[in-house]
Amino acid sequence: MTAQMFFIGFFGLAGVWFGIVVFRTYSMVRSALALLFSQTALGAMFLSMQAEFLGVLQIMMMATEMSIMAIFMVMFMMDPGGLGTMDMTHQKRLSLITGFVSFVAAVAVAVFVDWGPVATTFPDAAQQTVDLGLELLNRSMLIFEMAGVTILTAMIAATAVAIQPLKRGKEK
């Protein structure tokens, strides 16, 4: 139990640290891959909590997603190598306030919500996969489909906003 607590804490802190690194670097690729390792640390937290399928899935999905994000950041940022003096942060005051409020809210939720008794027995890894599959195709199907479509829409919209419109007839 203590070893488990240690690893959960360790990977949690690693996740937070890599999250900070995302904004401490000027290189877009470093930033994207720092976010990847932050997410991988979350996957390792799942593994420490014996949620094997979720952990492996998180570790797998994030590697592809963050790498693809890296190429988008290189394509659309004016200084992808971070060789100039580009600032990664903007609207500092607003971000600080929002960040602090969200942090307090998250801590409040974690502390004040009655989570019920800590589970002492849990299904084995193979059974967890089965249960998760049934859950995803039954009760939670609508939520997941909606989340998927929303994310896809957001991706297409973000790309459309980021691309400078071509001035037809004026090329070259």
Partner 1 sequence: MTTLLIVLLLLVGAYFVAVLEAWISRGRFQLAAPLLAGIALLGRESIVPRKPDRIFFEVGPILLLLSALLAAAVIPLTPNLIIADLATGALFVNAALVYVLVALLMAGWGPDGAYAMIGGWRFLGQLIAYAMLIVMPITAVAMRAESLLSTQIVISQADLWNIVYQPLGFILFFVASMALAFLPPFDMMIAKGELAGGVEAEYTGVRLAVFRLGRLVLIVTLAAATVIFYLGGWQGPWLPPWAWSAIKILAVTVAMLLAGRYMPRIREAHLLSWCWILGIPLALTNILIVGVLVLEFP
- Site residues (vs partner 1, CB under 8 A): 27, 29-30, 33, 36, 52-53, 56-57, 59-60, 63-64, 67-68, 70-71, 81, 124-126, 128-129
| Closer CB to partner 1, 8 or 57, in the complex | 57
| Closer CB to partner 1, 71 or 149, in the complex | 71
Long-range contacts of 64-71 (CB under 8 A, 24+ apart): 66/32, 66/33, 66/35, 66/36, 66/39, 67/32, 67/33, 67/36, 69/32, 69/35, 70/28, 70/29, 70/32, 70/33
The minimum distance between CB 16 and partner 1, in angstroms, equals: 19
| Closer CB to partner 1, 36 or 42, in the complex | 36
The minimum distance between CB 29 and partner 1, in angstroms, equals: 5
| Closer CB to partner 1, 95 or 127, in the complex | 127
The minimum distance between CB 127 and partner 1, in angstroms, equals: 9
Phi-psi region of 105 (alpha: psi -120 to 50; beta: other; left: phi over 0): alpha
Q: Exposed, middle or buried by CB within 10 Å (0-12, 13-18, 19+), for 126?
A: exposed
The minimum distance between CB 165 and partner 1, in angstroms, equals: 24
The minimum distance between CB 14 and partner 1, in angstroms, equals: 15
Tell me the CB-side half-sphere exposure of residue 158, using CA atoms within 13 A.
Answer: 10
- Asked if residue 42 lies in contact with residue 16, where contact means CB atoms within 8 angstroms, the answer is no
Distance CA 40, CA 51 (A): 14
| Closer CB to partner 1, 75 or 105, in the complex | 75
